Amino acid sequence: MHLDSSLAGTTLRDYKTTITWRNTMNYAAAVNDRNEAFLTMNVRKE
């Protein structure tokens, strides 16, 4: 995807979302990050 450099510095609207363990696992797999913290379903409860 080509982005025009005139977009640099443009203010965008706020975007809120919830990040789940599944999102982080998918991202880690996509970028080949083998860090155990991203590839397990162990969730720390606070």
pLDDT tens column, 6-25: 988 999 899 999 988 888 88
pLDDT of the residue at 14: 93
Q: What is the DSSP string of 2-23?
A: ---GGGTT-----------HHH
Looking at residue 32, its amino acid is: N
Q: What is the pLDDT of residues 24-44, one digit of tens each?
A: 889 898 999 888 877 776 656
43: closest CA among 27, 21, 25, 28? 21
Cβ proximity of 28 and 35 under 8 Å: yes
Residue 44: both structure tokens together:
């720390």
Report which residue type is found at 33: D
